[in-house]
Amino acid sequence: MGLKASSSLLCLTILFGVSSIVSAVNITRALEKYPEFSTMIELFAKTELTPIINKRQTITVLALSNDAIGSISGRPEEELKNVLMNHVVLDYFDELKLKALKDRSTLLTTLYQSTGLGQQQNGFLNCTKTNGKIYFGSGVKGAPQTAEYITTVFRNPYNLSVIQISMPIVAPGLGSPVNVPPPPPMSSPPSPSPKKAATTPAPGPSEEEDYADSPPGAAPEAAPASAPSEDGSPAPAPGNAGKKKMAAADEVEPPTSASNTGLSFGAVLVLGFLVSFVGF
């Protein structure tokens, strides 16, 4: 019986050890696939927070991209360590759980609070959902909620979740606050197109009067070349044309009369030839 009890206890110990290894938190392994968070991994190692984080069974890391964490990376090591501990929440939150929050503030306990150094709730974070967006900030009363949730980077329910936020959270008493980055420049709305004004110009009075009586496409002052003038003088074009026609008629008449004379003379010759033939 004692042997069986010892064997059972040994098996349980092995199973417990294996399950602990499988479910162990490893923040370095979770983020090493994402080069945009390489600076945060380095700072966790520099401040000796990596083994402390990995000992936890359930945490959520508020991750900062290399660009976002640059505003605090140059601070003194002790200050940097306290600020980073405020980005490790001692609970599990992923996108589904965050979106399930109601439109109110939720107080989250951080790794900094577990050190016993927290004062006036600067070891807590406020998570606020407003108009469908989620913001994080220090739990200190009156502290701004400016770090916006971006996406869930990694999750291993319910042990480790890594969610990305837009900027660092520096609680009052842990260091100088980080200024909110300016919003990205908005593209200016297109200015009213000048083409509309150009396509519908207001014509001047003189233009309206000139074009009102003229047919489309005709010049305002143009007049037909053959129109007679108002003072009664004959138009040059028709007169010249008439004279040319008369001259042509006169030139044609002489050939016509000569041809008639030729025909009459031929007829006389034919008749004379017939009379001579009859006489024979």
Q: Which residue has the higher pLDDT, 251 or 270?
A: 270
Please compute the mean of the pLDDT values over residues 257-275 and round it to a whole number: 54
- Residue 143 predicted with pLDDT over 70: yes
- Stated as kind and residue range, the H or E segment containing 79 is helix 77-85
Q: pLDDT (tens digit, 9 = 90+) per residue, 17-71? A: 444 444 458 999 999 999 999 999 999 999 999 999 999 999 999 999 999 999 9
- Round the average pLDDT of the chain to a whole number and report it: 75
Q: Which stretch, 169-178, 192-201, 211-220, 242-251, has highest mean pLDDT?
A: 169-178
pLDDT at 56 (0 to 100) = 95
Q: Which residue has the higher pLDDT, 25 or 265?
A: 25
The verdict on pTM exceeding 0.85 is no
* Sign of the alpha-carbon dihedral angle for 22, 23, 26, 30: positive
Q: Which residue has the higher pLDDT, 245 or 157?
A: 157
Q: pLDDT (tens digit, 9 = 90+) per residue, 90-104? A: 999 999 999 888 878
Closest to 164 measured CA to CA, from 48, 69, 240: 69
Q: Which residue has the higher pLDDT, 107 or 16?
A: 107
What is the token pair recorded at 83? 């600020």
pLDDT at 24 (0 to 100) = 59
Q: pLDDT (tens digit, 9 = 90+) per residue, 2-11? A: 555 455 544 4
Backbone angles phi, psi at 7, to 5 degrees: -65, -45
pLDDT at 250 (0 to 100) = 44
- Residue 229 predicted with pLDDT over 50: no
Q: Looking at 58-72, 111-125, 142-156, 252-266, which range is the least confident one?
A: 252-266
- Residue 243 predicted with pLDDT over 50: no
What share of the chain has pLDDT > 70, as a percent?
56
* Three-state secondary structure readout of 173-237: CCCCCCCCCCCCCCCCCCCCCCHHHHHCCCCCHHHHHHHHCCCCCCCCCCCCCCCCCCCCCCCHH
Q: pLDDT (tens digit, 9 = 90+) per residue, 76-92? A: 999 999 999 999 999 99
The domains of the chain, with CATH numbers, are: 25-165 (2.30.180.10)
Q: pLDDT (tens digit, 9 = 90+) per residue, 158-194? A: 999 999 999 999 999 999 988 877 665 665 555 565 5
pLDDT at 179 (0 to 100) = 83
Cβ contacts of 88 within 8 Å, gap of 6 or more? 49, 53, 56, 59, 60, 61, 62, 110, 111, 112
What share of the chain has pLDDT > 90, as a percent?
50
Burial 77-102 (b: 16+ CB within 10 A, else e): eeebbbbbbbbbbeebbbeebbeeee
- Residue 222 predicted with pLDDT over 90: no
| DSSP per-residue string spanning 91-135 | S---HHHHHTS-SSEEEEEBTTGGGT---TTTTEEEEEEETTEEE
